[in-house]
Protein backbone atom coordinates (compact mmCIF):
# COMPACT_ATOMS: atom_id res chain seq x y z
CA UNK A 1 0.00 0.00 0.00
CA UNK A 2 1.32 3.45 -0.83
CA UNK A 3 1.17 5.64 2.18
CA UNK A 4 2.61 8.69 3.89
CA UNK A 5 5.10 8.49 6.74
CA UNK A 6 3.92 7.25 10.10
CA UNK A 7 3.15 9.87 12.71
CA UNK A 8 6.31 10.91 14.49
CA UNK A 9 6.58 9.26 17.87
CA UNK A 10 8.33 12.11 19.66
CA UNK A 11 7.55 15.82 19.46
CA UNK A 12 8.81 17.41 16.28
CA UNK A 13 11.85 19.62 16.35
CA UNK A 14 11.06 21.69 13.32
CA UNK A 15 14.18 23.29 11.81
CA UNK A 16 12.99 24.08 8.31
CA UNK A 17 11.83 27.60 9.02
CA UNK A 18 13.75 29.11 6.10
CA UNK A 19 11.34 27.17 3.87
CA UNK A 20 8.15 27.73 5.87
CA UNK A 21 7.91 28.85 9.48
CA UNK A 22 6.09 26.46 11.80
CA UNK A 23 4.30 26.69 14.09
CA UNK A 24 2.48 29.92 13.38
CA UNK A 25 1.60 32.33 16.19
CA UNK A 26 -1.81 31.57 17.66
CA UNK A 27 -2.85 35.09 16.62
CA UNK A 28 -2.31 34.11 12.98
CA UNK A 29 -4.43 30.98 13.26
CA UNK A 30 -7.19 32.95 14.98
CA UNK A 31 -7.14 35.70 12.36
CA UNK A 32 -7.44 33.17 9.52
CA UNK A 33 -10.36 31.52 11.31
CA UNK A 34 -11.94 34.93 11.90
CA UNK A 35 -11.50 35.81 8.22
CA UNK A 36 -13.27 32.64 7.13
CA UNK A 37 -16.03 32.87 9.72
CA UNK A 38 -17.55 35.92 8.03
CA UNK A 39 -18.23 36.70 4.37
CA UNK A 40 -15.13 38.11 2.71
CA UNK A 41 -15.14 41.85 2.17
CA UNK A 42 -13.31 44.15 -0.19
CA UNK A 43 -14.71 47.38 -1.61
CA UNK A 44 -15.72 46.98 -5.26
CA UNK A 45 -16.13 43.22 -4.96
CA UNK A 46 -18.94 43.10 -2.38
CA UNK A 47 -21.02 45.51 -0.37
CA UNK A 48 -20.00 46.16 3.21
CA UNK A 49 -21.15 43.71 5.83
CA UNK A 50 -19.07 44.46 8.88
CA UNK A 51 -16.19 42.16 7.92
CA UNK A 52 -12.63 43.45 7.89
CA UNK A 53 -11.23 44.67 4.57
CA UNK A 54 -8.13 42.48 4.93
CA UNK A 55 -6.34 43.57 1.72
CA UNK A 56 -6.41 47.23 2.80
CA UNK A 57 -5.57 46.42 6.43
CA UNK A 58 -2.63 44.24 5.38
CA UNK A 59 -1.29 46.85 2.93
CA UNK A 60 -1.34 49.42 5.71
CA UNK A 61 0.40 46.99 8.08
CA UNK A 62 3.07 46.28 5.43
CA UNK A 63 3.64 49.98 4.77
CA UNK A 64 4.04 50.63 8.51
CA UNK A 65 6.30 47.61 9.00
CA UNK A 66 8.61 48.46 6.11
CA UNK A 67 8.43 52.24 6.65
CA UNK A 68 7.55 52.71 3.02
CA UNK A 69 5.54 55.01 0.83
CA UNK A 70 1.86 54.48 -0.02
CA UNK A 71 0.26 51.19 1.10
CA UNK A 72 -1.14 50.84 -2.44
CA UNK A 73 2.40 50.16 -3.64
CA UNK A 74 2.30 46.78 -1.89
CA UNK A 75 1.01 44.17 -4.32
CA UNK A 76 -0.24 40.73 -3.33
CA UNK A 77 0.87 37.60 -5.16
CA UNK A 78 1.05 33.90 -4.32
CA UNK A 79 4.63 33.96 -3.03
CA UNK A 80 8.09 35.34 -3.80
CA UNK A 81 8.49 33.18 -6.91
CA UNK A 82 5.24 34.53 -8.30
CA UNK A 83 6.34 38.11 -7.54
CA UNK A 84 9.74 37.62 -9.19
CA UNK A 85 8.18 36.14 -12.32
CA UNK A 86 5.73 39.01 -12.56
CA UNK A 87 8.44 41.63 -12.04
CA UNK A 88 11.20 40.11 -14.18
CA UNK A 89 8.99 39.24 -17.14
CA UNK A 90 7.03 42.48 -16.70
CA UNK A 91 10.25 44.50 -16.79
CA UNK A 92 11.45 42.68 -19.92
CA UNK A 93 8.12 43.24 -21.67
CA UNK A 94 8.14 46.91 -20.78
CA UNK A 95 11.70 47.34 -22.05
CA UNK A 96 10.69 46.11 -25.48
CA UNK A 97 14.25 45.52 -26.64
CA UNK A 98 17.17 43.28 -25.63
CA UNK A 99 19.18 44.50 -22.65
CA UNK A 100 21.84 43.42 -20.20
CA UNK A 101 20.84 42.12 -16.77
CA UNK A 102 22.88 41.24 -13.71
CA UNK A 103 22.27 38.72 -10.98
CA UNK A 104 24.45 36.78 -8.53
CA UNK A 105 25.37 33.18 -7.82
CA UNK A 106 23.65 33.42 -4.44
CA UNK A 107 20.26 33.33 -6.12
CA UNK A 108 17.35 30.97 -5.73
CA UNK A 109 15.86 29.38 -8.84
CA UNK A 110 12.96 31.82 -8.51
CA UNK A 111 15.42 34.41 -9.85
CA UNK A 112 17.69 32.19 -11.96
CA UNK A 113 14.97 30.44 -13.93
CA UNK A 114 12.99 33.50 -15.10
CA UNK A 115 16.27 35.22 -16.05
CA UNK A 116 17.56 32.12 -17.84
CA UNK A 117 14.31 31.87 -19.74
CA UNK A 118 14.77 35.46 -20.94
CA UNK A 119 18.38 34.74 -21.80
CA UNK A 120 17.35 31.72 -23.88
CA UNK A 121 14.83 33.91 -25.73
CA UNK A 122 17.67 36.41 -26.35
CA UNK A 123 15.65 39.05 -24.54
CA UNK A 124 18.54 39.63 -22.16
CA UNK A 125 22.25 39.08 -21.89
CA UNK A 126 22.92 37.89 -18.36
CA UNK A 127 25.93 38.33 -16.11
CA UNK A 128 26.10 36.27 -12.91
CA UNK A 129 28.27 38.00 -10.32
CA UNK A 130 30.09 35.61 -7.96
CA UNK A 131 29.86 36.07 -4.20
CA UNK A 132 32.93 36.72 -2.06
CA UNK A 133 32.92 35.93 1.67
CA UNK A 134 29.32 34.79 1.25
CA UNK A 135 28.10 38.19 0.01
CA UNK A 136 27.96 40.35 -3.10
CA UNK A 137 28.85 44.00 -2.68
CA UNK A 138 28.51 47.17 -4.72
CA UNK A 139 32.02 46.90 -6.16
CA UNK A 140 31.23 43.49 -7.67
CA UNK A 141 27.97 44.76 -9.15
CA UNK A 142 29.67 47.90 -10.53
CA UNK A 143 32.26 45.75 -12.25
CA UNK A 144 29.53 43.88 -14.14
CA UNK A 145 27.61 46.98 -15.27
CA UNK A 146 27.90 48.01 -18.90
CA UNK A 147 26.18 50.54 -21.14
CA UNK A 148 23.25 48.20 -21.84
CA UNK A 149 22.59 47.21 -18.22
CA UNK A 150 18.97 47.93 -17.34
CA UNK A 151 18.20 45.47 -14.56
CA UNK A 152 19.81 43.98 -11.45
CA UNK A 153 18.02 41.18 -9.60
CA UNK A 154 19.62 40.12 -6.37
CA UNK A 155 18.80 38.28 -3.20
CA UNK A 156 18.80 40.23 0.03
CA UNK A 157 19.60 37.13 2.07
CA UNK A 158 20.98 33.78 0.93
CA UNK A 159 18.74 30.84 1.79
CA UNK A 160 21.82 28.59 2.03
CA UNK A 161 24.49 30.77 3.59
CA UNK A 162 22.24 33.03 5.64
CA UNK A 163 24.30 36.02 4.53
CA UNK A 164 22.62 39.40 4.09
CA UNK A 165 23.70 41.80 1.34
CA UNK A 166 24.13 45.47 2.11
CA UNK A 167 21.52 46.62 -0.41
CA UNK A 168 21.47 50.31 0.48
CA UNK A 169 24.65 51.41 -1.40
CA UNK A 170 23.75 49.14 -4.30
CA UNK A 171 20.22 50.56 -4.47
CA UNK A 172 21.53 54.14 -4.30
CA UNK A 173 24.07 53.56 -7.05
CA UNK A 174 21.65 51.76 -9.36
CA UNK A 175 18.93 54.34 -8.77
CA UNK A 176 21.34 57.16 -9.61
CA UNK A 177 22.31 55.34 -12.81
CA UNK A 178 18.80 54.53 -14.01
CA UNK A 179 19.12 50.75 -13.48
CA UNK A 180 16.06 48.98 -12.09
CA UNK A 181 16.81 47.01 -8.93
CA UNK A 182 14.69 44.05 -7.86
CA UNK A 183 15.54 42.70 -4.42
CA UNK A 184 14.48 39.18 -3.48
CA UNK A 185 13.62 39.51 0.19
CA UNK A 186 12.10 36.05 0.62
CA UNK A 187 14.59 35.19 3.35
CA UNK A 188 14.89 38.58 5.02
CA UNK A 189 11.38 40.07 5.15
CA UNK A 190 10.45 39.77 8.82
CA UNK A 191 14.03 39.05 9.93
CA UNK A 192 15.89 42.20 8.92
CA UNK A 193 14.48 45.65 9.74
CA UNK A 194 14.06 47.63 6.53
CA UNK A 195 13.22 51.26 5.89
CA UNK A 196 12.17 51.57 2.26
CA UNK A 197 11.76 55.31 2.53
CA UNK A 198 15.57 55.28 2.89
CA UNK A 199 16.53 52.59 0.36
CA UNK A 200 15.66 53.39 -3.27
CA UNK A 201 14.89 49.88 -4.51
CA UNK A 202 12.86 49.47 -7.68
CA UNK A 203 10.97 46.57 -6.16
CA UNK A 204 11.32 44.46 -3.03
CA UNK A 205 9.87 40.96 -3.06
CA UNK A 206 8.58 39.17 0.04
CA UNK A 207 6.72 36.03 0.88
CA UNK A 208 4.24 35.58 3.70
CA UNK A 209 4.92 32.04 4.82
CA UNK A 210 8.46 32.44 6.13
CA UNK A 211 9.56 35.04 8.70
CA UNK A 212 6.36 37.08 8.36
CA UNK A 213 4.50 34.10 9.92
CA UNK A 214 1.71 33.97 7.33
CA UNK A 215 0.37 30.81 5.75
CA UNK A 216 1.62 29.41 2.42
CA UNK A 217 0.05 30.93 -0.69
CA UNK A 218 0.50 34.61 0.10
CA UNK A 219 3.36 36.85 -0.90
CA UNK A 220 3.89 40.10 -2.68
CA UNK A 221 6.17 42.97 -3.49
CA UNK A 222 6.69 46.63 -2.79
CA UNK A 223 7.24 48.66 -5.92
CA UNK A 224 8.49 52.20 -6.01
CA UNK A 225 8.27 52.65 -9.78
CA UNK A 226 5.18 50.79 -11.05
CA UNK A 227 5.61 52.27 -14.54
CA UNK A 228 8.78 50.24 -15.06
CA UNK A 229 6.83 46.98 -15.13
CA UNK A 230 4.40 46.03 -17.90
CA UNK A 231 1.03 44.64 -16.92
CA UNK A 232 1.14 40.95 -17.74
CA UNK A 233 -1.97 39.82 -15.89
CA UNK A 234 -5.36 41.20 -16.73
CA UNK A 235 -8.79 40.53 -15.33
CA UNK A 236 -11.34 41.55 -12.77
CA UNK A 237 -10.34 44.20 -10.26
CA UNK A 238 -13.73 45.32 -8.99
CA UNK A 239 -13.02 48.76 -10.50
CA UNK A 240 -13.27 50.44 -13.95
CA UNK A 241 -15.37 47.52 -15.11
CA UNK A 242 -16.63 49.29 -18.25
CA UNK A 243 -13.19 49.33 -19.82
CA UNK A 244 -11.68 46.29 -21.50
CA UNK A 245 -8.15 47.33 -20.63
CA UNK A 246 -6.69 46.61 -17.24
CA UNK A 247 -6.52 49.63 -14.91
CA UNK A 248 -3.19 51.37 -14.35
CA UNK A 249 -4.02 52.36 -10.78
CA UNK A 250 -2.13 50.79 -7.91
CA UNK A 251 -2.43 48.16 -6.62
CA UNK A 252 -4.95 46.82 -9.19
CA UNK A 253 -2.37 47.39 -11.91
CA UNK A 254 -0.68 44.12 -10.84
CA UNK A 255 -3.59 42.32 -9.18
CA UNK A 256 -6.33 40.56 -11.13
CA UNK A 257 -8.95 38.19 -9.78
CA UNK A 258 -10.13 37.40 -6.28
CA UNK A 259 -7.52 37.72 -3.56
CA UNK A 260 -6.32 34.98 -1.23
CA UNK A 261 -8.18 36.49 1.74
CA UNK A 262 -7.18 33.89 4.36
CA UNK A 263 -3.57 34.27 3.25
CA UNK A 264 -3.76 38.06 3.43
CA UNK A 265 -5.39 37.82 6.88
CA UNK A 266 -2.52 35.58 8.03
CA UNK A 267 0.04 38.05 6.71
CA UNK A 268 -1.73 40.90 8.48
CA UNK A 269 -1.75 38.98 11.76
CA UNK A 270 1.85 37.82 11.29
CA UNK A 271 3.09 41.40 10.89
CA UNK A 272 1.08 42.51 13.90
CA UNK A 273 2.59 39.64 15.89
CA UNK A 274 6.13 40.74 14.96
CA UNK A 275 5.39 44.37 15.76
CA UNK A 276 3.81 43.56 19.15
CA UNK A 277 6.51 41.04 20.12
CA UNK A 278 9.32 43.23 18.83
CA UNK A 279 11.39 42.39 15.75
CA UNK A 280 14.59 42.88 17.72
CA UNK A 281 13.52 40.44 20.44
CA UNK A 282 12.53 37.86 17.83
CA UNK A 283 15.82 38.18 15.99
CA UNK A 284 17.82 38.09 19.21
CA UNK A 285 16.27 34.73 20.04
CA UNK A 286 16.63 33.39 16.50
CA UNK A 287 20.31 34.24 16.37
CA UNK A 288 21.01 32.97 19.91
CA UNK A 289 19.59 29.60 18.83
CA UNK A 290 21.59 29.68 15.61
CA UNK A 291 24.86 30.43 17.39
CA UNK A 292 24.11 27.74 19.97
CA UNK A 293 23.55 25.17 17.22
CA UNK A 294 26.77 26.15 15.45
CA UNK A 295 28.69 25.89 18.73
CA UNK A 296 27.32 22.39 19.28
CA UNK A 297 28.04 21.29 15.70
CA UNK A 298 31.65 22.44 16.05
CA UNK A 299 32.11 19.85 18.80
CA UNK A 300 31.17 16.98 16.47
CA UNK A 301 33.81 15.20 14.41
CA UNK A 302 33.06 14.96 10.70
CA UNK A 303 30.84 18.03 10.43
CA UNK A 304 31.59 20.73 7.87
CA UNK A 305 29.73 23.98 8.51
CA UNK A 306 29.43 26.09 5.36
CA UNK A 307 28.41 29.31 7.12
CA UNK A 308 30.06 29.78 10.48
CA UNK A 309 28.81 33.36 10.91
CA UNK A 310 25.37 33.74 9.34
CA UNK A 311 23.31 36.93 9.54
CA UNK A 312 20.08 34.91 9.33
CA UNK A 313 19.03 31.90 11.45
CA UNK A 314 20.26 29.40 8.86
CA UNK A 315 23.01 26.79 9.31
CA UNK A 316 24.17 24.73 6.34
CA UNK A 317 26.37 21.73 7.02
CA UNK A 318 27.52 18.34 5.85
CA UNK A 319 28.09 15.10 7.74
CA UNK A 320 31.11 13.18 6.46
CA UNK A 321 30.46 9.69 5.18
CA UNK A 322 26.73 9.98 4.74
CA UNK A 323 24.67 11.33 1.88
CA UNK A 324 22.77 14.43 2.98
CA UNK A 325 19.38 13.01 1.87
CA UNK A 326 20.01 9.93 3.99
CA UNK A 327 21.07 12.07 6.94
CA UNK A 328 17.92 14.18 6.60
CA UNK A 329 15.78 11.05 6.41
CA UNK A 330 17.36 9.61 9.57
CA UNK A 331 17.11 12.90 11.47
CA UNK A 332 13.43 13.17 10.57
CA UNK A 333 12.31 9.59 11.08
CA UNK A 334 14.52 8.49 13.96
CA UNK A 335 14.90 11.76 15.86
CA UNK A 336 11.90 13.82 14.69
CA UNK A 337 14.27 16.60 13.62
CA UNK A 338 12.97 18.22 10.45
CA UNK A 339 15.62 19.86 8.26
CA UNK A 340 15.94 20.51 4.56
CA UNK A 341 18.49 18.65 2.47
CA UNK A 342 19.78 18.95 -1.07
CA UNK A 343 20.32 22.02 -3.20
CA UNK A 344 17.69 24.28 -1.61
CA UNK A 345 16.77 25.54 -5.12
CA UNK A 346 20.07 27.45 -5.16
CA UNK A 347 22.33 25.32 -7.39
CA UNK A 348 25.02 27.94 -8.02
CA UNK A 349 25.71 28.44 -4.31
CA UNK A 350 26.21 24.71 -3.91
CA UNK A 351 28.59 24.57 -6.87
CA UNK A 352 30.74 27.00 -4.93
CA UNK A 353 30.51 25.53 -1.42
CA UNK A 354 30.17 21.78 -1.83
CA UNK A 355 30.81 20.95 -5.46
CA UNK A 356 27.10 20.80 -6.20
CA UNK A 357 26.25 17.83 -4.01
CA UNK A 358 24.04 19.79 -1.62
CA UNK A 359 23.97 19.89 2.15
CA UNK A 360 21.77 19.77 5.23
CA UNK A 361 20.17 23.03 6.34
CA UNK A 362 18.79 23.74 9.79
CA UNK A 363 16.87 27.00 10.14
CA UNK A 364 15.44 28.42 13.32
CA UNK A 365 12.42 30.46 14.27
CA UNK A 366 11.10 32.29 17.30
CA UNK A 367 9.16 29.22 18.46
CA UNK A 368 12.18 26.95 18.66
CA UNK A 369 13.72 26.43 22.09
CA UNK A 370 17.22 26.09 23.47
CA UNK A 371 16.46 22.46 24.42
CA UNK A 372 15.38 21.71 20.86
CA UNK A 373 18.60 23.24 19.59
CA UNK A 374 20.68 20.98 21.87
CA UNK A 375 18.60 17.89 21.08
CA UNK A 376 18.92 18.50 17.33
CA UNK A 377 22.70 18.91 17.62
CA UNK A 378 22.89 15.72 19.67
CA UNK A 379 20.93 13.88 16.96
CA UNK A 380 23.32 15.19 14.30
CA UNK A 381 26.18 13.96 16.50
CA UNK A 382 24.72 10.46 16.70
CA UNK A 383 24.30 10.32 12.92
CA UNK A 384 27.85 11.62 12.40
CA UNK A 385 29.33 9.05 14.78
CA UNK A 386 27.34 6.09 13.42
CA UNK A 387 29.25 3.29 11.71
CA UNK A 388 28.14 0.44 9.47
CA UNK A 389 26.99 -2.64 11.39
CA UNK A 390 27.15 -6.31 10.52
CA UNK A 391 23.80 -7.69 9.37
CA UNK A 392 22.70 -10.87 11.13
CA UNK A 393 20.36 -13.48 9.70
CA UNK A 394 17.01 -13.69 11.48
Nearer to other proteins, 15 or 153 (CB): 15
Residue 251: cis peptide before it, omega within 30 degrees of 0 = yes
Is 241 among the residues that bind other proteins (CB under 8 A)?
no
Tell which residue, 28, 59, 2, 18, has the closest CA to residue 259. 59
Tell which residue, 357, 380, 377, has the closest CA to residue 369. 377
Is 392 among the residues that bind other proteins (CB under 8 A)?
yes
Which of 147, 280, 371, 388 forms a contact with other proteins (CB under 8 A)? 388
Is 389 among the residues that bind other proteins (CB under 8 A)?
yes
Is 383 among the residues that bind other proteins (CB under 8 A)?
yes
CB atoms < 10 A from the CB of 273, how many? 20
Beta bridge partners of 361: 316, 340
In the complex, the smallest distance separating the C-beta of residue 391 from other proteins, rounded to whole angstroms, is 5
HEC sequence for 359-388: EEEEECCCCCCHHHHHHHHHHHHHHHHCCC
Q: DSSP of 136-149, one letter per residue?
A: --HHHHHHH--TTE
Is 387 among the residues that bind other proteins (CB under 8 A)?
yes
**Among the residue ranges 44-52, 105-113, 232-240, 379-387, the one whose residues contact other proteins (CB under 8 A):** 379-387
Which of 36, 298, 329, 351 forms a contact with other proteins (CB under 8 A)? 329
Report d(CA 261, CA 218) in Å as an integer: 9
**Among the residue ranges 15-23, 183-191, 212-220, 323-331, the one whose residues contact other proteins (CB under 8 A):** 323-331
Is 334 among the residues that bind other proteins (CB under 8 A)?
yes
**Among the residue ranges 21-29, 133-141, 163-171, 384-392, the one whose residues contact other proteins (CB under 8 A):** 384-392
In the complex, the smallest distance separating the C-beta of residue 44 from other proteins, rounded to whole angstroms, is 45
Report d(CA 86, CA 253) in Å as an integer: 12
Report d(CA 151, CA 145) in Å as an integer: 10
Is 15 among the residues that bind other proteins (CB under 8 A)?
no
Contact 182/153 with Cβ under 8 angstroms? yes
In the complex, the smallest distance separating the C-beta of residue 316 from other proteins, rounded to whole angstroms, is 22
Is 379 among the residues that bind other proteins (CB under 8 A)?
yes
Nearer to other proteins, 119 or 378 (CB): 378
Which of 121, 148, 326, 351 forms a contact with other proteins (CB under 8 A)? 326
Is 11 among the residues that bind other proteins (CB under 8 A)?
no
Is 301 among the residues that bind other proteins (CB under 8 A)?
no
Contact 143/104 with Cβ under 8 angstroms? no
Nearer to other proteins, 47 or 393 (CB): 393
Residue 234: cis peptide before it, omega within 30 degrees of 0 = no
**Sites of contact with other proteins (CB under 8 A):** 1-6, 326, 329-330, 333-335, 379, 382-383, 386-394
Amino acid sequence: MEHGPQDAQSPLIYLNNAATTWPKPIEVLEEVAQCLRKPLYEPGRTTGNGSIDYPSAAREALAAFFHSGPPEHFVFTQNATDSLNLLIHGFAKKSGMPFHAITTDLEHNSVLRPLTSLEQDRTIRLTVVPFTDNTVNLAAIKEAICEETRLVVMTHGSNVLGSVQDIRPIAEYLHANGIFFIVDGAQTAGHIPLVFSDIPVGAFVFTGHKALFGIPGIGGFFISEPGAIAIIRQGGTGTDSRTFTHPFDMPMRFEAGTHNYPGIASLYAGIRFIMSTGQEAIEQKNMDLTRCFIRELRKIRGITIYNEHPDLPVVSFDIAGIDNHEAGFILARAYSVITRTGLHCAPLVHERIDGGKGCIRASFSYFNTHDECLAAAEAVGEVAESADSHIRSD
